[in-house]
Structures are given as C-alpha cells and as structure tokens.
Structure 1
C-alpha cells in the first residue's frame, strides 16, 4: 500500500530533477561554447542553424540549443523556433535520471538501448563529445570520470577551475536574465 503512494512521488521527483538538469545543461552548453576553444572547434563542424534537442519520450522534459555559427550555441529552453534537426531521446524518465544523476555514462545508456538518435549520427557523436567536455569542466573530477567515457588528460586543475567558474557565472547570469524577462 505504501509503495503505491511513494512510486508516483518518486516519478515526480525524477521528472523535476531531469527538468532542472536540462535547464542547467542547456544554459551551460551556451556558456561553454563561449568559453572553451575545444568545444568551439567541435561545434564548428556542425551546420549553422542546427537545432539540437535532448528530451525524454514522449512529452517529457527537454532542452533545445541552436548552433548559431562559429562554434557557439544558443539555448532556446523547451520550445523550438522551427523543426528539430538532431534529437537525442531517452526512452523513459528513469533512463534520463540514470544519465543525468551520473550513475550511468551516456555511452553505456546508448549501449543498453536507453536512448534513440533522430538525425545525423555524426552530429550526435559530436554533440556527445561537447556534452562530455562540458561535464568534465563543471563536475568534480571524481564524478566527471564516472559520467564521461574518457576524462580529458589535458584538462588540468587551474584550467578546469577558471573555465568552470566562467561557465557557472554565465549560467547564473542566464537564469537571472530569464527571470527578469
């Protein structure tokens, strides 16, 4: 009996967590594209105007970012200004929670068939590399090593701290600007 009452609350808590993480990740993607040259170089290979979406199927939380050119992203929130070009979709909120709570790497989630890609696979691989680089910056090394396929050997503490501070400041500024609007 108690289990029937708790299960919906657990599902709601996971959904709220995933929604908040998508908001943070979307803003952080925009910020890291302004801060990190490696991310900019990876993103430059994407076509200008590409709309990238990460979502939970069928109508769950989502984030949408656009490649605005020159390796920069713009976060659109949950609404797309036009049709999506590349979508990475989690099949269930529990799968998204595993990845976004850093219990499972993105590559493992793909291997366990917890995610779908709709769009050009080479763009999806590139976006996954960008996401991994972002996580390497903004997460403590112990957690980042669990979250990404391979932690960048060239990322040293001083660069990580300065870049993470710049990214977090830009994310916070974006949240404040969103609240004011």
Structure 2
C-alpha cells in the first residue's frame, strides 16, 4: 500500500527535476553560445531562425532554443513561437530522468530506443555536440564523463573553470531577469 502511494510522488519528483534541468539547460545553451567560440562555430552551420526542441512525450516538460545567427542561441522556455525544425523527444519521463540525472549517456539512450529524433539528423548530431560541450564545461569531470560520449581531451582545468564560471554567471543573471519579469 505504501509503495502504491510512493509511485505517483516519485513520478511527480522526476517531472519536477526534468523540468528544472530543461530550464537550466536552455539558459546554459544561450549562455555558452555567448562565451564559447567552438559552440558558436557549431551553431553557425544552423540556419538563422532554426528552432530546436527537446521534450518528453506526449506533453511533458520541454525546452526550445532558437539560433539567432552568428552562432548565438536564444532560449524561449517551453513553448515554440512557431513550428520547430528539430525535435528530440524522450518517450517517457523516466527515460528523460535517466539522461538528465547523468545515469545514462544520450547516445546510449538513443541506442536503447528511449528517444526519437524528428528532423534533420545532421542538425541533431550538431546539437548533440553542442550539448556535450556544455556538459563538459558545467559538470564535474567525473559526472561529465558519464554524460557525454567522449570527454574532450584538450579541456584543461583552468579553461573549464573560467568557462564554467562565465556560463553559470550568465545563467544566474538570466534566472534573475526572469524572476523580475
């Protein structure tokens, strides 16, 4: 009986966690596109106005990012201003939780058929590289190695600390701006 009451609470907690992580990721993607040249180079190959969505099916938490040009992203929150160009969809909240709690790599989740890519695969690979770079910067190395397919061998501690600090500062200021609005 206790287990039957705990299951909905666990599902609710996972949903809250995934929603929070999407907010952090969305703001962090916008921030890293402002401070990291390699992310800007990856993003420049995307068309201006390109909309990327990551979501939990069918109507779960989501994040929407737009490429504004010059390799810069803008985080739209959870709703797209128009039809998205690329959507990466987790089939269940539990699948999203595994990836966003760094228990399973994105590549493993895709191989295990836990997610769907709707859109150009080339753009999906590009966005995955951007997400991997973001995770390498903002997560401790041990966690990042579990989250990304291959941790960058040329990412040294001073660069990681400086970039992570700049990203976290921008994310924090974006959260403050959102709270004021």
Q: TM-score, normalised by structure 2?
A: 0.99
Counterpart position of 1:95: 95
Counterpart position of 1:76: 76
Counterpart position of 1:129: 129
Counterpart position of 2:158: 158
Query: Are residue 168 (structure 1) and residue 172 (structure 2) matched?
Result: no
Counterpart position of 1:62: 62
For 1:134-153, what aligned pairs fall within 5 Å after superposition? Answer: 134-153=134-153
Counterpart position of 2:107: 107
Structure 1 residue ranges, 4+ long, deviating more than 4 angstroms after superposition:
none
Q: Matched residues in 1 for 2:28 and 2:158: separation? A: 19
TM-superposed CA distance for 1:79, in Å, is 1.2
Q: Matched residues in 1 for 2:111 and 2:79: separation? A: 29
Query: Are residue 2 (structure 1) and residue 2 (structure 2) matched?
Result: yes
**Aligned-partner SS, 2:87:** strand
Q: Matched residues in 1 for 2:176 and 2:81: separation? A: 22
**Aligned-partner SS, 1:82:** coil
Give the aligned length: 181
Question: Any idea what the Cα deviations from partners look like across 1:24-61, whole Å, max 9, x if unmatched?
Answer: 00000000000111100011111110000000000000
**Aligned-partner SS, 2:32:** helix
**Aligned-partner SS, 1:149:** coil
Counterpart position of 1:25: 25
Q: Matched residues in 2 for 1:79 and 1:88: separation? A: 14
Question: Any idea what the Cα deviations from partners look like across 1:81-136, whole Å, max 9, x if unmatched?
Answer: 11111000000000000000000000000000000001101000000000000000
| CA root-mean-square deviation | 0.4
Query: Are residue 16 (structure 1) and residue 22 (structure 2) matched?
Result: no
Unaligned stretches of 5+ in structure 1? none
**Aligned-partner SS, 1:4:** helix
